[in-house]
Chains A and B, each alone.
Chain A
């Protein structure tokens, strides 16, 4: 079910048509999802545990390619290009991902972590370019002041919230088209969660963000548009405010009112 979304008057940056993902023959984690994501919006994907929201997210940057038993079907278009026609590495540069568990690389310093995307892709930069990118990325996640004096140290001493912001900075450094966030605050305390939510609201000006969340109040707080998934199917999607106040589907209503969780 679809209702009017917030589009900022622009064409969608990501389009999904009939996307399905299976882990084994005839066992579908995601079934025939069709939806559009618009530029400079935050879209929340919500639903109970096991509904397929993370699986759908990971299909967008072709993470499923890493696992031979997972099959993805359907069309996913990023900025007009079919992601399955592109090289998977290009797709992942355009669609950056932040994971539930903060995962700064332990063998690299904070400075090196921010630039990890460049190093991994074999892009050479001179010192000036490197410094610029690091400062810019860390500033955009409000981490610069906190770490600018300890950038040569490994990131393991940072708090969970700081580590997660470092991971976001690392992803932003590659200037992706969209940001895919897989329950980015589930592992964090309320204060860090708050900080990251504020951060996402700021980043929305420059990026398009999709956030998978199991916390519907988070979805209500920060998202422009929402998608509600249940048992692998996209039950309803549209403008967040409308969905929360006047859900079109009974299931959506039940989920939002806590009939099931």
Chain B
């Protein structure tokens, strides 16, 4: 009898996840309808205007979608050489050695630093550099955010890659060495192709992380509500505009912000789904 109750409780707990997800989707959708009804779904997404002034109220998500894509992809681009190097360092060159566990620990610590501390450091330590380099007069913007974001996602991009690179079977590598290849040639022709799906999946996951990142970006991006004119410009991401303007919002503005939240939810869910599909391919090779 006790078991029956227990098993039911377990089932019920699992059900909570289902209910939670459904609830989240419902909550987001129902509160976005005001904005979508006002502008149409596509109209809202494609509108670059964001004007909260009462007389000329108009809201659209495009500026923030562009800002999000700029920062996330630029950050991904910047992080690749570093995270790939760390992955090769730990999974191939120094696999199993003590220095590798040291490097892993350091990279793990990087993942533990809260977003707001990254934002502080970005503001006080990196922003002056941006100003000195003449990239932006105030230092804020896509460039600054992406640099800090790139550092933040290095642990995510490198940890899964490391796993897959280190799982390449020794017998394949020995086969290549026995044909007279150098270590780099073995990496290039055997290790990386064999680990490819896992590496791609880890970068997709890192991208997902970058898309949803809030605090550091909010503090560094400059908070302007229009489409950024380029990497040197300021802007806002979907996450940062919500963080900045949610506080006093109500009515159409609130609904618009929640609609942006819904879009963000959908995008990150899609990215995670793609990453899972890519990982499934790993199993088949």
Q: Do chains A and B touch in the complex (CB under 8 A)?
A: yes
Name the interface residues of B133-176: CB closer than 8 Å to any CB of A: 169, 171-172, 174-176
| Interface: B182 (CB within 8 A) | yes
- Of B171, B178, B179, B194, the most chain A CB neighbours within 10 A belong to B178
Name the interface residues of B253-285: CB closer than 8 Å to any CB of A: 285
Mostly, the B contact residues are: helix
Q: Which residues of B contact A107 (CB under 8 A)?
A: 190, 193-194, 196, 285
Q: Is the CB of A174 within 8 A of B179?
A: yes
Fill in one digit per residue for A78-119: 1 if any B CB lies within 8 Å of its CB, else 0: 000000000001101100110101010111000000001101
Size category of the B interface is: 20 to 34
User: Count of A residues near B, CB < 8 Å?
Assistant: 25
Q: Is the CB of B172 within 8 A of A121?
A: no
Q: Which residues of A contact B194 (CB under 8 A)?
A: 105-107
Q: Is the CB of A105 within 8 A of B182?
A: no
Q: Is the CB of A66 within 8 A of B177?
A: yes
| Interface: B132 (CB within 8 A) | no
| Interface: B247 (CB within 8 A) | no
Q: Is the CB of B193 within 8 A of A120?
A: no
Give Cα A116–Cα B176 distance, bound, in whole angstroms: 8
A117 with B172, Cβ < 8 A, contacts A106-B194, A106-B285, A107-B193 known = no
Fill in one digit per residue for A117-143: 1 if any B CB lies within 8 Å of its CB, else 0: 101111000000000000000000000
A103 with B172, Cβ < 8 A, contacts A120-B185, A120-B189, A122-B185 known = yes
Q: Which residues of A contact B190 (CB under 8 A)?
A: 105, 107
Q: Is the CB of B180 within 8 A of A121?
A: yes
**Which residues in A have some Cβ–Cβ distance to B below 8 Å?**
61, 63, 66, 89-90, 92-93, 96-97, 99, 101, 103, 105-107, 116-117, 119-122, 167, 170-171, 174
Mind listing 8 A-B residue pairs with CB under 8 Å? A89-B182, A92-B179, A99-B171, A103-B172, A117-B179, A120-B176, A120-B185, A120-B189
